[in-house]
Structure 1
Amino acid sequence: MPSLPKPRLRRTTRGRSAVATRPPEDDTPSVEIVEFDGLRWINIERPRQSDRGWLEEHFDFHPLDYEDVFSRNQRPKVDEYPEYLFVVLHFAAFDKNVGRLNAAELDIFVGPDYVITLPNEPLAPVEYLFERARSREDFREQLFSKGAGYLLYKIVDDCVDASFPMLRKIGNKLEHLEEDIFEGRSKEVVKDISNTKQEIINFRKIVRPQRAALGDLERTKRYIPEDLDIYFDDINDASERIWDMLENFKEVSEGLESTNESVLSHQLNDILRVLTAVSVVLLPLTLVASIFGMNTRVPGEQSIVGFWVVIGSMVVLLGGMIYAFRRRGWL
């Protein structure tokens, strides 16, 4: 096993626990460290080349792992090495700039006395957990005292659980869309249905490859004691629940889209039925008016009585056709 020297950073407290931070300057590694009883949690948000240099100086990781950390298209996976464990996971994160869900990558190195997290985008669960470990000594002791495997579990578990509030929001959107459809706002919800379906598709693209990686993480035995198997099994159960909910949302969104199209089609059919009935009703009247408007001599020509006879005949014909159409349910 290669020697893994500890970072020579200034400690802010003495004793069994310590916290160290470097400012995120352009040429300075943005490394945050929380330490307790020999176990270090090193968090590097949005790693840059200066951070890679810091890692290469203090740890002996494989060059391909560094390429994976700085790659934008890395799939979720778990790689086991004799000296450490390398984990790549993706989690859904809402991007306010574009207004939709995107995949945030979290790279994790796990060793006998350290856990290194490298999120390529800010992940609220990781930030919240790290801040609690930084600011509360009792929580830091509880989190670090069970080893690197338990710390890894808490980080992954919190990130997985953060998906459920997002799923509840999607579920609420689908409920509101259903209400809008049956309240006569079908035209207005077409775009909303499309946006919600896109969110579900993006979520599924993130979760689908993640399931295999979480299964591999449950089966690995490096730095994860047997008594923690049940914890990682719980993460897998949560991941499966997320996938089942996404499958259900997919079916519901497709059903709502189909229902909305049926409602719009029904409304269009009603409009076409009325217009067709009006055209058919006016057709005989147009025929009568055309006959008596020809440039030939017709009965009652130049007679006021003949005019009223023609008008009366047209009114009777109009009333009869409307009555017949209404009895058949066409109007």
Structure 2
Amino acid sequence: MKIITHKKVTWHYFEENNDDAVKKLEKDFAFHQLDIEDVSSGPQQPKTDFYKDYLFAIFHFPGYHKEEGRVSVFELDVFLSEDYLITVCKGENSRLRDVYQHINSDDEYREDMMGQGAGFFLYKLLDILTEDSWGVIRKISSQMNDIEEEIYSEETTKGTVWRIALTRRNLIRLRRILNPQLVVLASLVSVDKPYLKKSLSLYYDDIQDTLNRLQAITVGNVEVMNTLHNVNESLISQRTNSVIKLLTVISVSLLPMTLLTGFYGMNVAELPFASHPNFVWMIFGALFLIIFMALVIFRRKDWV
């Protein structure tokens, strides 16, 4: 645990929810046991619990794993009172770590973040982490642009289908992160408690507006990806039909020759023209003429 105190506000910063963190919370604070269980357990859904003396809230923020190419979720468990803010991290978040180091090393920045009370400090942290979500949106948008260019340049491969599926999964995860977060922020906008004054509602409403924009863009990206998926499936189907059409034309073209070889391949005496070996070349000539005429007809009808 790391602690920073400025004026009447103390920030207790837990980088992970290990046993030491849970024991520290149980020993030094009189939090409800259900809140302690939420902190010590695995990932929880975003929520807010308002008590007389403190607020317990769970927030989710999207992140992006470059190595795996997927959207991840960072959970932040928060205890807020009039004179302290406790944050417990579940997962890695370099942005929050940078904020702590900046506050710890810069007096002016510390005053800007913590100088107006714990409730305002919570707003500043949430605002920073929410704004950081734009990076995930931009990354997914860049992937969508690459997929679109790949589809319409007719250079699609098996990897294109996989990239479409991966991007759609990322968008689904992003929506699952943002939707509950909107509900949590709405509850903070309307609250009026000693540790979260009504005057702060405008600030939290600003975060809610940002989340609404993130959500609207995500919904639009989902529709775009559905369209790109349908276009890609149509192009794949068209190419498959072209291959089947070509194979059908070849099969039909060879059908007369197959019929001829099957007819004269029978072990039957006195077949027509069987006693005239040179007549076979006339028959082959007639068959090639038929095949040529069939191909011309297919071409005129735009079948090949």
Alignment TM class, shorter chain as reference: over 0.9
Asked whether the equivalents of residues 285 and 318 of structure 1 are also in contact (C-alpha less than 8 Å), the reply is no
Q: Is 1:313 aligned with 2:283?
A: no
How far has the Cα of 1:41 moved from its partner?
A: 1.1
- Taking the aligned partners of 2:279 and 2:17, their CA distance within structure 1 comes to 95
Q: What do you get for the CA RMSD once the two structures are aligned?
A: 1.7
Name 1:323's counterpart in structure 2: 296
Moved more, 49-58 or 104-113: 49-58
User: Which of 170, 174, 177 is the aligned partner of 1:203?
Assistant: 174
Residue ranges of structure 1 left out of the alignment (5+ in a row): 1-30
Q: Is 1:108 aligned with 2:78?
A: yes
Asked whether the equivalents of residues 77 and 88 of structure 2 are also in contact (C-alpha less than 8 Å), the reply is yes
Deviations along 1:55-81, one digit per CA (max 9) or x if unpaired, are 233222122111111122422111111
Of Structure 1 and Structure 2, the greater helix share is in 2
- Taking the aligned partners of 1:305 and 1:94, their CA distance within structure 2 comes to 76
Number of residue pairs matched by the alignment:
301
Letter in 2 for 1:136: D
How far has the Cα of 1:169 moved from its partner?
A: 0.7
- Taking the aligned partners of 1:179 and 1:97, their CA distance within structure 2 comes to 23
Q: Scaled by the length of structure 2, what TM-score is found?
A: 0.93
How far has the Cα of 1:164 moved from its partner?
A: 0.8
Asked whether the equivalents of residues 61 and 75 of structure 2 are also in contact (C-alpha less than 8 Å), the reply is yes
Q: Scaled by the length of structure 1, what TM-score is found?
A: 0.86
How far has the Cα of 1:307 moved from its partner?
A: 2.4
Q: Is 1:213 aligned with 2:184?
A: yes
Name 1:4's counterpart in structure 2: none
Asked whether the equivalents of residues 8 and 117 of structure 2 are also in contact (C-alpha less than 8 Å), the reply is no
- Taking the aligned partners of 1:323 and 1:98, their CA distance within structure 2 comes to 53
Deviations along 1:34-64, one digit per CA (max 9) or x if unpaired, are 1111211110111222222222332221221
How far has the Cα of 1:98 moved from its partner?
A: 5.2
Asked whether the equivalents of residues 288 and 314 of structure 1 are also in contact (C-alpha less than 8 Å), the reply is no
Q: Identity of paired residues, percent? A: 32
Q: Is 1:47 aligned with 2:17?
A: yes
- Quickly say closer, same or farther: Cα 1:305–1:53, change in 2 above 3 A: closer
Name 2:60's counterpart in structure 1: 90
Moved more, 307-316 or 132-141: 307-316
Alignment of 1:263-282 (within 5 A): 263-282=235-254
- Taking the aligned partners of 1:253 and 1:47, their CA distance within structure 2 comes to 37
Asked whether the equivalents of residues 186 and 263 of structure 1 are also in contact (C-alpha less than 8 Å), the reply is no
Alignment of 1:11-22 (within 5 A): none
Q: Is 1:258 aligned with 2:233?
A: no
User: Which of 44, 50, 54 is the aligned partner of 1:80?
Assistant: 50
Deviations along 1:230-273, one digit per CA (max 9) or x if unpaired, are 21111000111111111111111111111111110000001111
